[in-house]
Amino acid sequence: MRTPEINRKRFELARRCVYVVIALAVIIPYFFNPKQEFKPMAEVVSVYEKIDAMKPGDQVLMAFDYDPSSEAELYPMSMALLRHCFKKGVIPVIVTHWFAGLGLFEKACNEAAEDANSMWGKKIVSGRDYALLGFRPGWTDLIVKIERDLKGAYETDYFKQPTRGMKALEGVNSLEDFELMIDLAAGATVEFWIAYGTDKSGTPMAAGTTAVSAPDLYPFYKSGQMIGFMGGLRGAADYEKLLKIPDRGERGMLAQSAAHIIIILLVLGANVHMFAKRLFGNKRD
Amino acid sequence: MPDDLQDNPKSIIRHYVEMGVLALLLVVFLAVSLWRQDPLHQKDAAATMKAIGLILAAGLTLTMYSFLYRDNPLFKIAENLYVGVALGYMAMFVWRQALRPMVYEPIFHAPTWSALQTALLHKTVPIIVGFMLLTRLSRKHGWISRYAYALMIGWAAGLAIPNITNTYILKQLYAAVTPLQQAITSAPNTPAFSYDWFVGTAGPVVGTLVILIGTVSVLFYFFFSVEHKKVGRAVSTVGIWFLMVSFGASFGYTVMGRLSLLIGRVQFLLDEWLKIPST
């Protein structure tokens, strides 16, 4: 008969084995990265097509509502969107409810600007080709304020430059003046933006979220309150594929698939074990 | 050494072995970091600081994952450091991004007398309400904060009720009924069992029915005023199945999200810390 102590040790060993197997499943594909084919999801394609159809000089309001704890999923999306905008000459106007991510957003703008310079020979300048407006407190109040008077909500940008007279904000006074609103969110801000912002102004809305929040967005996508969205690292990978600039999203897909297969096998194995135990009894114990 | 190990020789040996392995791993980590990042031979101070920052970030990442083996002193240090840094960062950003530009500078560094008057006009009430919230910290004067909370809740409710009703109920209802209405309108013009009939008529009708059955049965499952017997039990069982499918989808996405975080950290360790080029 196994004692509780032996059972506990077996459980501890099994637990650590699972961690090791998952770690190997994620690390090994990094070194042997064969081309993995996948078809971008319809909800991501519609976001891509919307931006791709814009004219140079059109403005997109982007809310980067996340911080470094969601960097793995949302930073690749931010990079893909910024690169696409810079490639097309579309002007991203970036706001946030999450101050802890501001350093990350500045880095994303700088990296995407460097990429635009190296890939398409475009010199991207803050205040002209993009505007990083930064953080203001208020949550829903801030959205309501932006919906009515963007420059009143942000008198200066993140770099302390006045927004009145800023070239990137020419012709933009409120949310309805934007061609598109995109919220990259680690929390519930997408629903706030829909309820307090785009449903009222009629601005087309898209989103990018962590995988955990993605199922909550399908009702809004199906009802037409959003034109599309990107869910998790897969969403970022889809956008990178459409943009034809592979980066962290696409590179992570093989590791993710490998880990998913391992998890499915573990779940199946555990279920078979449980049913076998139930069927044949547990005489040994 | 933890007190509970004092009388158990096996545990004492294991404790010292674990501490030895931990020290060895620390030495290996430092050696690899110095080899790959080489902070002492960078071209300028900024590059040196960046290399040191990367070593620290990699060290803290590995320390956090060390918890998967078991709780250990390094993990405790990293955990407390994380909380402390996050709080310090938050305090600094609230000051720099909100309090200084929106409260301090307009009042204490107003460029003109009229600018000061405008600032006082717009900001006096919010500042007072803000201070009223802080009275929550005192047992004696905590009641004052209730007025501030009442104001905030009233404001938020007034703002939320029309917007949330529109977004979550009216627009969702409209979206649920529209395909049905379109299917009924297009049905007479479409030959039955053709491709267009399946896509334009049967599909939306079935979809709407599934949503209707799902919504009603799940709501009924949580309706405890009536005993769930016979038909009621069948309806609530259907509700459970819908809930299970929903939980399954959420769980699947959650697993995907957690793996993405691991992939992000592994990419950081391999790309930036070890500088191994990906294939």
pLDDT in tens, A5-32: 778 888 888 889 999 999 999 999 888 7
User: Which uninterrupted H or E stretch holds A95?
Assistant: strand A91-96
pLDDT number for residue A280: 86
Contact A237, A37 (CB under 8 A): no
d(C-alpha A209, C-alpha A236), whole Å: 10
B-contacting residues in A 258-277 (Cβ below 8 Å): 259-260, 263
Cβ of A247: how many Cβ atoms within 10 Å?
18
pLDDT tier for residue A283 given thresholds of 50, 70 and 90: low
Chain centroid to CA B47: how far?
32
Considering only CB atoms, which chain B residues are within 8 Å of A72?
Answer: 260-261, 263-265, 267
Phi, psi of A182 (to 5 degrees): -125, 130
Residue B164 lies inside a defined structural domain of this protein: no
Relative orientation angle of helices B113-134 and B143-164, to the nearest 10 degrees: 100
Residue B116 lies inside a defined structural domain of this protein: no
pLDDT number for residue B107: 93
- Closest Cβ opposite residue B167 in set A72, A100, A194: A194
Mean pLDDT of chain A: 92
Q: Considering only CA atoms, which of A219, A230, A169, A171 is closest in space to residue A195?
A: A219
Q: Considering only CA atoms, which of A138, A251, A230, A130 is closest in space to residue A183?
A: A230
pLDDT number for residue A174: 94
Residue with tokens 């074990």: A273
pLDDT tens digits, B247-278: 999 999 999 999 999 999 999 999 999 998 76
Q: Which residues of B touch A (CB under 8 A)?
A: 68-69, 86, 89-90, 93-94, 97-98, 101-102, 156, 159-160, 163-164, 166-168, 171-172, 174-176, 246, 249-250, 253-257, 259-267, 270, 276, 278-279
Per DSSP, B279 falls in state -
- Closest Cβ opposite residue B259 in set A19, A222, A259: A259
d(C-alpha B119, C-alpha B106), whole Å: 6
Q: Considering only CA atoms, which of B212, B190, B214 is closest in space to residue B201?
A: B190
Distance from CA of A59 to the nearest CA of B (A): 24
d(C-alpha A143, C-alpha A97), whole Å: 9
Would you state the structure tokens that stand for residue B171, as one six-digit string?
Answer: 């627009």
> Which domain-ending residue is among B57, B75, B108?
B108
Cβ of B69: how many Cβ atoms within 10 Å?
15
Contact B265, B61 (CB under 8 A): yes
B-contacting residues in A 133-152 (Cβ below 8 Å): 134-137, 140-141, 144
d(C-alpha B139, C-alpha B137), whole Å: 7
Residue B78 lies inside a defined structural domain of this protein: yes
Nearest CA in chain B to A136: B98
Q: Which residues of A78-88 are buried (b: 16+ CB within 10 A; e: fewer)?
A: bbbbbbbbbbb
Distance from CA of B225 to the nearest CA of A (A): 29
- Strand, coil or helix: what is B193? coil
Distance from CA of B266 to the nearest CA of A (A): 7
pLDDT number for residue A33: 64
Domain range for B233: 190-273
Whether the per-residue pLDDT at B193 is higher than 80: the answer is: no
> Which domain-ending residue is among B108, B129, B145?
B108
Considering only CB atoms, which chain B residues are within 8 Å of A32?
Answer: 279
Q: Considering only CA atoms, which of B180, B156, B157, B160 is closest in space to residue A199?
A: B160
pLDDT tier for residue A188 given thresholds of 50, 70 and 90: confident
Note whether B172 contacts A30, CB cutoff 8 Å.
Answer: no
B-contacting residues in A 177-216 (Cβ below 8 Å): 191, 194-196, 199-200, 210-212, 214-215
Considering only CB atoms, which chain A residues are within 8 Å of B259?
Answer: 22, 26, 255-256, 259-260
B-contacting residues in A 75-94 (Cβ below 8 Å): none
Contact A111, A134 (CB under 8 A): no
> Which domain-ending residue is among B85, B108, B131?
B108
Residue B196 lies inside a defined structural domain of this protein: yes
- How large a percentage of chain A has pLDDT more than 90? 79
Q: Considering only CA atoms, which of A275, A63, A266 is closest in space to residue A181?
A: A63
Considering only CB atoms, which chain A residues are within 8 Å of B119?
Answer: none
Q: Which fold has domain A42-246?
A: Rossmann fold (3.40.50)
How would you classify the pairing of strands A205-209 and A180-185? parallel
Would you state the structure tokens that stand for residue A205, as one six-digit string?
Answer: 């809305």
Burial class (CB in 10 A: 0-12, 13-18, 19+), B4: exposed
The residue extents of the domains of chain A are 4-32+253-280, 42-246
Residue B16 lies inside a defined structural domain of this protein: yes
Distance from CA of A37 to the nearest CA of B (A): 16
Residue B84 lies inside a defined structural domain of this protein: yes
pTM as predicted: 0.88
Residue B114 lies inside a defined structural domain of this protein: no
Q: Which residues pair with B84 in a beta bridge?
A: none
User: Which uninterrupted H or E stretch holds A87?
Assistant: helix A71-88
Residue B2 lies inside a defined structural domain of this protein: no
Nearest CA in chain A to B90: A100
Number of domain units in chain B: 2
CA dihedral B66, B68, B72, B73 (to 10 degrees): 50
pLDDT number for residue A207: 97
Residue with tokens 């960062």: B89
pLDDT number for residue B186: 74
